[in-house]
Amino acid sequence: MNPILVPIGEVTLKPLILWILGAGALLFFSFAQSYGQAKGWKTGRIIGLGVIFILVGDLIVYLVAKALNCPEQLFVGTVNVYSYGFMLTIAFIVGTIITVYAAKREQVDSEIILDLIFVIIIGALIGARIMYVILKLDEFLTYETIMVGDQEQLKFLLMPTLKHMAAIHQGGLSVHGGVIGATLLSAIYTRMKKLNFWKIADLFAPSLALGMAIGRIGCFLNGCCYGVVCKNPDAWYAVSFPLNTHTGVTPEPRHAAQLYMMALNLIIFFILRGMYKNRKFDGHVFLMWIALYSIARFFQEFFRFGVSSDVIFGTITIAQLASVILAVVAFVIIAEVNKRIEIAKRAKEASE
């Protein structure tokens, strides 16, 4: 990935220290959350205190590590802030704030929402990576050749290692896989906590749409998920990216597919926000998000070039097939639930 921001000065940290600081950040934020809730503070004040705790706490950890004369190898390297990860961080922060305030209106404990945020992040990363590995399995398979005699060769298929598959920092995530992974893990978590999954999902749906819109800005800055080459290179909407061997993008004028999807996700966000108060059943908004996102992704694929743009069955891409399946399933469930609600309503009216 291409960094959008320059490396952070002379602050050089190796992964071990970064992991320590990351774990410390979670611990410090938990302290702030517990303290703020005990004091009866509002959500915004708790989040502000949490940020202060993270900054001060991690600074103390860093200074202590330096004071203890930790091996210099731990502090060699540079810390780069990457465009995609940077925008994803903003997306999660904005989405969390919006969802917490929506939960407050519905009298849902904000602690549940904050806990679910971590569950969603973990589920999304696992699901997105697994789906990407499945889509690009050829890149993860290796062969070992053994010579038999002077000319004959035997090839043994070696399955990808867990370390290779888990190398997310090298790029490779699937949105559809992320949605499936986050949904499944959230469903398991809410069931364990005896919560109404569909009600919670409705709270998250608008934030998911907005988060994806912000995330697509990261894709645009990074150069990944780029569009097909424009037939008219002088068109006002054509964009050119620097040559990037990692993402595969070349300098030809292309459709800004990432920005197209950003605009569609923003439209979906406002639609979901508008229908939230008028939803007919728990899960209505979430299912509509799945359906609308799938429709938007289906049409975006006509302008998108990349992993999921591989054509299958001669006419449709992998992402388009997944979008059609998800949209159909979502609309069928909505129609079936609406039908049952209408039948129950008529039965009640008849009994009266």
Summarised one tens digit per residue, pLDDT across range 91-148 is: 888 888 888 888 888 888 777 887 888 888 888 888 877 777 776 666 666 555 555 5
**Choice among 199-208, 234-243, 306-315 with the minimum mean pLDDT:** 306-315
Q: What is the pLDDT of residue 108?
A: 81
Residue 48 pLDDT grade (very low, low, confident, very high; cuts 50, 70, 90):
confident
Q: Report the distance separating Cα 211 and Cα 213, nearest Å.
A: 5
Would you say residue 135 lies in a domain? yes
Q: Tell me which residue range forms the domain holding 209.
A: 80-351
Contact 58, 28 (CB under 8 A): yes
Give the burial string for 117-149 (b: 16+ CB within 10 Å, else e). Answer: bebbeebbbbbbbbbbbebeeeebeeeeeeeee
Q: Would residue 43 count as lying in a domain?
A: no
What value does the mean pLDDT of the chain take?
77
User: Residue 194: is its pLDDT beyond 70?
Assistant: yes
Q: Does residue 45 lie within any of the structural domains?
A: no
Query: pLDDT-based confidence at 264, cuts 50/70/90?
Result: very high
The verdict on residue 22 lying in a domain is: no
pLDDT band at 88 (very low <50, low <70, confident <90, very high): confident
- Encoding tokens for residue 96? 């969390």
- The residues near 178 (Cβ < 8 Å, ≥ 6 apart) are 123, 124, 125, 127, 128, 131
Per-residue model confidence (pLDDT) at position 9 = 47
> CA quadruple 192, 196, 198, 199: dihedral positive or negative?
negative
The span from the CA of 342 to the CA of 340, in Å, is 5
Instruction: Please tell me the pTM assigned to this model.
Output: 0.72
Is residue 283 left, alpha or beta, with left meaning phi > 0 and alpha meaning psi from -120 to 50? left
The count of structural domains within the chain is 1
List Cβ neighbours of 145 (8 Å cut-off, separation of 6 or more): 153, 154, 155
- Report if residue 29 sits inside a domain: no
- List the structure tokens of 114: 């904050």
pLDDT at 182 over 60: yes
- The pLDDT score that the predictor gives to residue 156 is 47
Give residue 310's pLDDT.
61
The answer on pLDDT for 10 being more than 50 is no
Please report whether residue 12 resides in a domain.
Answer: no
Q: Is residue 347 part of a domain?
A: yes
Q: Report if residue 131 sits inside a domain.
A: yes
Six token digits for residue 74 = 């731990």
